[in-house]
């Protein structure tokens, strides 16, 4: 705790020394009324264990274990970032002496302190952190006198141009006379206001400049009447006091008109609005002024939204790229050839009787599907695996077996490197027969695994 306090004091001193401001913000004499709580328990626990232990075990003293009190504080600015702080505080408590333990009954504790506050910012700011250190003296019950060192930190809240403040502080009282003073923390909050009005700095205006007698210039164009050929109309020296001429009468004088003999507009320095791409649409109305286009597209060429080289007027799928051979629409990713290949492979999937164990003679067909899914053109294709059974046995057992077989096929694909998000496995049991379950041949057809390609 001592190391922490010394670090805060050092940081505050450096901030006060090196962060000077041009405008003075030295605090006026200010009086603050504060409410505080004294905490003897937390320093005692930290001293007997460690700060880390107290924080880790959440042993910080509760409000009910602290002693309340009131104090008056007087502040006087010594510089923009250094304040003197005097404190007079009182509270009633059963004082826990460091060497003798509890006194045994509540007595009045009077404390007085003189300290220096080192502020990290001036009173110009709304929130001002500060650290403090000083000396203090105490009297308990009229019989026990002691001395201590108060060191701490706080926040000052400026409520409006330095006219009033809220002070929030925590200080650590370090005994000098250990017989009558114990280590403890002091938490306080209070409201303060200056005791004197702010001094107003009067600014004396400079004397007016001496009057100058200027030659007469009726039209105020900077050319005296004796030299002005147009003394009542503002002009320029180049034209002997007359205005600059406008040959083409477009409102832009010849000196600023790049096309002085052709009427134009100011935006183009007196020239007509250009048509850069020569498509008959002037640049101000042309959304593509450097590329020839059509009026219905505001001077731009017919667009090709999907960038497939087929303009939108001829593209059957203008927002999706596709080849001209398919009218500008993309070719389907799932072709009939791919469907048939997957369907054929599905007819060659075999399991051990009554179980979800794949037989080795299924691997060749499954590996063909792995190869298909690994092709670059098929990287966005997924595979739905469906398990089906005949009606032999209960519906619940058939559903469970069909799900297990579909999952076994999906697991095989995953082991072969096919991403799980491209696969799904669903067991339908005997819900979707494709043949009559009354015959052995029909039941054999119903015991199957189906695989269906889909686009992700």
Domain ranges in the chain are 2-194, 336-455
Let me know: does 36 contact 70? Beta carbons within 8 Å: yes
- pLDDT at 117 (0 to 100): 95
- pLDDT at 217 (0 to 100): 80
Confidence grade of residue 5 (pLDDT, cut at 50, 70, 90): very low
Question: In degrees to the nearest 10, what's the CA dihedral of 443, 444, 446, 448?
Answer: 160
Six-digit token string for 155: 């926040």
Give phi and psi for 191, each to the nearest 5: -120, 135
Q: Pick the more confident residue, 44 or 108.
A: 108
Q: Is 336-455 in the same CATH topology as 2-194?
A: no
Is the entire prediction scored with pTM above 0.75?
no
Confidence grade of residue 73 (pLDDT, cut at 50, 70, 90): very high
Q: Please enumerate in sequence order all residues whose Cβ is within 8 A of that of 160, keeping only pairs 6 or more positions apart, or say none.
A: none
Indicate if the pLDDT at residue 1 is higher than 60.
Answer: no
Topology of domain 2-194, CATH = Porin (2.40.160)
DSSP string for 267-281: GGTTSPPP-TT-SSS
Q: What is the CATH number of domain 336-455?
A: 3.30.1330.60
Let me know: does 101 contact 94? Beta carbons within 8 Å: no
Give me the residue label for tokens 């593509």: 288
Of residues 69, 64, 71, 135, the one with CA closest to residue 107: 69
Six-digit token string for 114: 């003189």
Confidence grade of residue 219 (pLDDT, cut at 50, 70, 90): confident
- pLDDT at 331 (0 to 100): 66
Let me know: does 74 contact 29? Beta carbons within 8 Å: yes
């Amino acid at each position: 705790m001592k190391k922490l306090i010394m670090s805060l004091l050092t940081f505050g001193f450096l901030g006060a020394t090196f962060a000077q401001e041009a405008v003075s913000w030295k605090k006026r004499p200010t009086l603050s009324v504060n409410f505080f709580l004294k905490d003897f328990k937390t320093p005692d626990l930290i001293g007997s264990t460690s700060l880390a232990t107290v924080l880790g075990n959440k042993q910080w003293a509760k409000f009910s274990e602290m002693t309340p009190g009131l104090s008056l504080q007087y502040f006087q600015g010594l510089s923009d970032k250094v304040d003197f702080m005097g404190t007079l505080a009182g509270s009633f408590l059963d004082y826990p002496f460091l060497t003798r333990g509890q006194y045994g009954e509540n007595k009045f504790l009077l404390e007085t302190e003189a300290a220096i506050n080192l502020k990290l910012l001036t009173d110009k700011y709304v929130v001002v952190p500060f650290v403090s250190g000083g000396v203090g003296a105490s009297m308990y019950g009229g019989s026990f006198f002691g001395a201590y060192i108060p060191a701490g930190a706080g926040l000052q809240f400026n409520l409006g141009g330095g006219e009033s403040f809220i002070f929030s502080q925590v200080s650590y009282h370090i005994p000098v006379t250990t017989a009558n003073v114990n280590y403890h923390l002091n938490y306080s909050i209070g409201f303060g206001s200056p005791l004197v009005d702010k001094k107003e700095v009067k600014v004396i205006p400079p004397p007016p400049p001496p009057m100058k007698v200027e030659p007469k210039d009726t039209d105020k164009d900077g050319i005296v009447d004796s030299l002005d050929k147009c003394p009542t109309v503002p002009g320029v020296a180049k034209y002997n006091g007359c205005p600059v001429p406008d040959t083409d009468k477009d409102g832009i004088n010849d000196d600023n008109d790049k096309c002085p003999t052709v009427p134009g507009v100011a935006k183009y320095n007196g020239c007509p609005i250009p048509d850069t791409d020569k498509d008959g649409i002037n640049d101000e109305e042309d959304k593509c002024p450097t590329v020839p286009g059509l009026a219905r597209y505001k001077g731009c060429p017919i667009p090709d939204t999907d960038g497939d080289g087929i303009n939108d007027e001829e593209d059957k799928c203008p927002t999706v790229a596709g080849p001209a051979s398919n009218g500008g629409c993309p070719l389907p990713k799932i072709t009939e050839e791919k469907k048939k290949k997957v369907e054929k492979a599905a007819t060659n999937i075999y399991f051990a009787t009554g179980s979800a164990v794949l037989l080795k003679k299924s691997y060749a067909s499954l590996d063909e599907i792995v190869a298909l899914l690994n092709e670059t053109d098929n990287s966005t294709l997924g595979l739905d695996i469906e398990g089906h059974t005949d009606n032999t046995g209960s519906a619940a057992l058939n559903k469970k077996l069909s799900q297990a077989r579909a999952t076994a096929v999906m697991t095989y694909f995953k082991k072969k490197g096919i991403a799980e998000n491209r696969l799904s496995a669903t067991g339908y049991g005997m819900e979707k027969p494709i043949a009559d379950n009354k015959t052995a041949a029909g039941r054999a057809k119903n015991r199957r695994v189906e695989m269906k390609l889909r686009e992700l």
